[in-house]
Amino acid sequence: MPNTPAIIAQIKNTRAFVLELVKDLSTEQLNKIPSGFNNNIIWNIAHLTAAQQNLCYVRSGLRVTISEEHFSPFLSGTKPVKFIEKEEIDSIFEVLLNSMERLAADYTSGIFVEFDPWDKRYGMKLNTIEDAINFIPFHEGMHIGYIMALKKLVLTYL
C-alpha cells in the first residue's frame, strides 16, 4: 500500500501548482465559460476540494470540514450558477490548500473508521479511505487538464 501521508503531501503540492497556473488570471477570466464547456476555471478549482471532501469524509460517514458554500455548489453534476467575486475566489484558493492539511491531520488521528465502497465511473472501485486518497491525484489530474484547456481559451478570447 502506498504511503498515504506522502500522497496527501503530493496532492497539496499539485494544488499549489494549480494556484500558480491561474495566479495571473482576472476574476472575469476565472469565471468565463467558453463555448462548448459547462463550467469555468474557478468551478474546477473549487470542485477539487468538494470532490475530496465527498470522497473522504462523506463516504466515511463524517461531516465535511469545509463550509456549505464551498461544498454543494461544486459537486459532480453541478455547474456555475453565479459570478464568483474576488473575495470568494481567495477563500476557494485558501480552502483548496487548507483542506489537505486537515485531511492529513484527520487521517493521522484515525477518524476514518468506516468507508462506504464506491464504484467510480472510471472503472475503479474504492473500498477504503486509502483507495479514496489514492484516487484523488487521478481525479485532480483530469481537472488540471480542463483548467489548462480553459486557461488557453480565456487567454485567447478574453
Q: Give the CA dihedral 135, 95, 29, 76, nearest 10 degrees.
A: 40
DSSP 58: G
Buried b (16+ CB within 10 A) or exposed e, 30-53: bbbbbeebebbbbbbbbbbbbbbb
Strand pairing partners for 119?
125
Q: Is the pLDDT of residue 132 over 60?
A: yes
- Confidence band for 3, pLDDT divided at 50, 70 and 90: confident
Segments making up each domain of the chain, as ranges = 4-157
> Distance between CA atoms of 62 and 26, rounded to whole angstroms?
36
Mean pLDDT to the nearest integer, 12-34 = 97
Enter the pTM of the model. Answer: 0.95
Query: Is the pLDDT assigned to residue 143 strictly greater than 70?
Result: yes
Homologous superfamily in CATH for domain 4-157: dinb family like domain (1.20.120.450)
For the cut 80, the answer to whether the pLDDT of residue 19 exceeds it is yes
Q: Is 18 exposed, middle or buried (0-12, 13-18, 19+ CB in 10 A)?
A: buried
What is the per-residue pLDDT across 59-105, written as a single tens digit (0 to 9) for each? 999 999 999 999 999 999 999 999 999 999 999 999 999 999 999 99
> For position 158, what pLDDT does the model report?
65
